[in-house]
Amino acid sequence: MAAPLAGLKVIELARVLAGPWAGQTLSDLGAEVIKIESPEGDDTRQWGPPFVERGEDRSSSYFHSANRGKASVVVDLRSPEGQAKMLELLEGADILIENFKTGGLAKYGLDYHSLKGRFPELIYCSITGFGQTGPYAHRPGYDFIIQGMSGLMSITGEPDGPPQKHGMAITDIFTGIYSTTAILAAVYQRASTGLGQHIDMALMDCAVAITGNQAMNYLTTGTAPTRLGNAHPNLTPYEVFETSDGHIIIATGNDGQFRRLCMLLGLDDMASDPDYASNALRVANRPAMNSRIAAATRMKTRTELLQACEENTVPAGPINTMEDTFNDPQVKARGMQIELDGVPGINSPFKFSGAELSLHRAAPKLGEDG
């Protein structure tokens, strides 16, 4: 079976994470992706240790996480020859992804307005920290800073501790995913209009967009949400609980699940207590309720409590290390770990009934294809 995007040609003039993540996703889905690198290479090739060693090539694991399936072509945009080579590569291309500073490609004649006359069908996706417009458009964008500015860090961490960033560069990743969605929407629209267009993607916009229910809580009430650690602002019990030999997550989402949790913990009276009859009441009475639940969970082992929750259809789960995750039977069954050219990797999550992914090569060596 063919991959869904077979036949599409992508020029990736991007580095670090958000742009390369979009390019890798399109490659996994079958597009031909040509990664344009400076003579020095993508910055992240040096972001280690750890590194993947392949003969004379030594690129970081970080680089390999976002660049599989691509060809690598070295182009020096500062030279007329490099600019001419870029125009040659754009012949027949469907999509260009770039993450230069706003206006950064204009001096090379490679901005959207310079190219749209020659390549009217080109879908040109610009990824920046703050977008092409607004008072911050000139600023460079870094995931850590965006996490702080977007409000994400204000709701992450323990109530009595400092704000915390996410363990991954989450605004970069989400911007890559949103960019892929926008690109494919533009491809669909081009089928009826015959024209490409410019897509303006910003880490800040994407970060604000994913604040989701927490932002809605603020917009509805005028009160900014605060850090709750592992607790949920709208649901309870929905957090981490201690057992006699570790911790687990219990995530009840309705009244029936709450009652079954109480019964399996031997808290029969709580199951029918009017103070906890609805989620709103449980939120209002959260401290007293969670105190009793926590005392009960500490009387059971991690394995014992997880098994009891599963048998009683109470949503619960372990807190895995990466080693635990990749040894998990469900992760193995879904084929989420792959190996390409001797390099381990993480599979894309797409599963199609009538198509296959294009997992054909590991991340390229610098200049491997030109």
- Catalytic positions, written as ranges: 172
Cβ-based neighbours of 25, under 8 Å, separated by 6 or more? 176, 177, 180, 348
Quote the strand ranges of the chain, DSSP E: 9-13, 32-37, 51-54, 57-60, 71-74, 95-98, 123-128, 198-202, 238-243, 246-251, 316-318, 337-340, 343-346
Distance of alpha carbon 157 from alpha carbon 144, whole angstroms? 15
- Report the DSSP pairing between strands 9-13 and 32-37: parallel
Among 57, 6, 86, smallest CA distance to 370 is for: 86
Among 146, 145, 125, smallest CA distance to 206 is for: 146
* Burial of 356 (C-beta count, 10 Å sphere; 0-12/13-18/19+): middle
Distance of alpha carbon 170 from alpha carbon 155, whole angstroms? 14
Cβ atoms of 359 and 69 within 8 Å: the answer is yes
Question: In a 3-state reduction of DSSP, which class is residue 247?
Answer: strand
Cβ atoms of 1 and 42 within 8 Å: the answer is no
Among all chains, which residue has been given the structure tokens 């570790």? 246
Q: Please count the CA atoms within 13 angstroms of the CA of 282 that sit on its side-chain side.
A: 29
Among all chains, which residue has been given the structure tokens 């059971």? 300
Question: In a 3-state reduction of DSSP, which class is residue 241?
Answer: strand
With vertex at residue 336, the alpha carbon angle to CA 366 and CA 66, rounded to the nearest 5 degrees, is 25
Q: 240: which strand partners?
A: 249
